[in-house]
């Protein structure tokens, strides 16, 4: 696993991203949780994943924690971008 890929990147003020493509469950969910814990309230985290199971797990995580699911976009074959706002 490449640790560098899983780093939280600041896109601009209040917007962050992590690239969890290439990782299988539960690793993308763990990365998302750690990232969400480290960003400020009101910020948006974009998570890139490449399997549908990770999408469902991350959406369930967001629902359980009362976070706002901003969008889920299919980018290509099996690739998704999930945007979640921390409340």
Indicate which residue of 25, 44, 59, 72 is catalytic: 25
Q: And the tokens for 46?
A: 């974009």
Task: Answer yes or no: are the C-beta atoms of 82 and 55 closer than 8 Å.
Answer: yes
Catalytic residue list contains 25: yes
- Determine the pLDDT at residue 2: 47
pLDDT of residue 57 exceeding 50: yes
Confidence category of residue 25, pLDDT binned at 50, 70, 90: confident
Q: And the tokens for 7?
A: 């780093």
The pTM (predicted TM-score) of the whole model is 0.90
């Amino acid at each position: 696993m490449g640790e560098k890929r899983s780093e939280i990147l600041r896109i601009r003020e209040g917007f962050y991203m992590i690239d969890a493509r290439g990782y299988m469950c539960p690793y993308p969910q763990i990365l998302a949780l750690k990232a969400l814990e480290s960003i400020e309230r009101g910020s948006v985290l974009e998570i890139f994943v490449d399997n549908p199971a990770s999408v469902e797990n991350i959406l369930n995580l967001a629902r359980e924690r009362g976070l706002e699911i901003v969008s889920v976009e299919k980018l290509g074959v099996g690739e998704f971008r999930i945007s979640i706002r921390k409340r």
